[in-house]
A = this chain, B = another copy of it.
Amino acid sequence: MTTYRLASIPGDGIGVDVTVEARKVLDRVSARFGFSLEWTEFDWSCERYAQLGAMMPEDGVAQLSAYDGILLGAVGFPGVPDHVSLWGLLIPLRRAFQQYVNLRPVRLLPGTTSVLAGRKAEELELVIVRENSEGEYSAIGGRHNAGRPDEFVLQESVFTRVGVERIIRYAFELARTRSSRVCSATKSNGLIHSMPFWDEIFAEVAAEFPDVRSERMHVDALAARMVQAPDRLDVVVASNLFGDILSDLAAAITGGLGMAPSGNINPSGESPSMFEAVHGSAPDIAGQGIANPVAQILAAAMLVEHLGETVAAQAIRAAVDRVLDEGRVRTPDLGGTDTTERLGTAVAEAL
């Protein structure tokens, strides 16, 4: 029997609530599909930061590197600046492990309705392939003339040929397994250094995939299209920032952030990949047992899929669909009054 060693980092807020449920589902599915999971839990979080002054130990990356996969809850807590909580955990992990793909599939799940009028489920199924290691999220920059009237800040975006090429190639390869269509988000009319470079590499890679239809759209027009004609989108490839915005929007039109999973993937397999819900730690509703665990359960499905346990992943998704379709167990965001735990258990039992 294959045993996978997994790291769990529940983090803060509802990250903790939903990760418990995702693990419950994973333990059930592994028993059913003949593999076993060996979990190690890490208490890396804003609480740890408050006590020890750091989100994770100095050798955090080394500690995680031997695992087959990482399940991450969410990090962030009021009082801890985001650039501490996120740049002290989430973002360094994404980079250290070269998880350069942030994969964000969305679809309208059964029993849920879209905020868009008259759209059928089959029109609302797409995947954002977000660059996850460079781009607009850069630590390079700073403040000049601090405290003076002529104060200003600089924030550098960094796009490398290697970084842009690999994410675009990943998107094209993914498109071959889906609709054979890729749409690239650009803004070369406003960002005249980074985005023309992105477009140039997109055109080069597209030429290698003559069987895949490709187009590029400015991110403003693409956001508009996502709500006006989502059926015309399938694989969307985007920079770190654009992918962040577009994937929240994609989640919003397909049942909300409570349902959207994401994978931080290193396709080479040389370092562990990390799976998490798209939503954040939502401190306002943390610990109340009302968070929707579906996003995190679907992130867990992506994790086992990444491990090669495709059938188990499909079983998890089918179980989620069944429970949502029946509609007997619903958390408040789905219009019900059930708890996080009830919904997690219902999915585990549906397996």
Indicate if the CB atoms of B155 and A151 lie closer than 8 Å.
no
Output the nearest chain B residue to A186 by Cβ-Cβ distance: B82
Indicate if the CB atoms of A155 and B115 lie closer than 8 Å.
no
Q: Report the separation of the CA atoms of residues A300 and B221 in the bound assembly, to the nearest whole angstrom.
A: 23
Kindly list chain B residues whose C-beta atoms are within 8 Å of the C-beta of A118.
117
Q: Report the separation of the CA atoms of residues A87 and B195 in the bound assembly, to the nearest whole angstrom.
A: 14
Known: A136-B190, A141-B194. A161 touches B155 (CB 8 A): no
Kindly list chain B residues whose C-beta atoms are within 8 Å of the C-beta of A253.
227
> Does A345 lie at the interface of the complex (its beta carbon under 8 Å from any beta carbon of B)?
no
> Does A224 lie at the interface of the complex (its beta carbon under 8 Å from any beta carbon of B)?
yes
Known: A189-B76, A223-B223, A256-B228. A152 touches B143 (CB 8 A): no
Interface size counted on chain A using CB atoms at 8 A: 66
Indicate if the CB atoms of B86 and A189 lie closer than 8 Å.
yes
Output the nearest chain B residue to A189 by Cβ-Cβ distance: B82
Q: Report the separation of the CA atoms of residues A335 and B98 in the bound assembly, to the nearest whole angstrom.
A: 49
Stretch of A62-70, A237-245, A283-291 lying at the B interface: A237-245
CB distance from A149 to the nearest CB of B (A): 6
Indicate if the CB atoms of A155 and B162 lie closer than 8 Å.
no
Of B82, B160, B193, which contacts A150 at CB under 8 A? B160
Kindly list chain B residues whose C-beta atoms are within 8 Å of the C-beta of A86.
189-190
Q: Report the separation of the CA atoms of residues A252 and B252 in the bound assembly, to the nearest whole angstrom.
A: 15
Which A-B residue pairs are the 10 nearest by beta carbons? A82-B189, A141-B193, A224-B252, A155-B194, A220-B248, A117-B117, A83-B192, A152-B160, A151-B161, A155-B193
**28 A-B contact pairs sorted by A residue (CB < 8 Å):** A81-B196, A83-B188, A83-B196, A86-B190, A87-B192, A91-B190, A136-B190, A137-B191, A141-B192, A142-B193, A143-B193, A143-B197, A148-B161, A152-B160, A153-B158, A155-B156, A155-B191, A156-B156, A190-B240, A191-B241, A219-B245, A220-B247, A220-B248, A223-B249, A224-B252, A227-B249, A227-B253, A249-B249
Interface residues of A (CB under 8 A from B): 76, 81-83, 85-87, 91, 113-118, 136-137, 139, 141-143, 148-162, 187-197, 219-221, 223-225, 227-228, 240-241, 244-245, 247-249, 251-253, 256-257
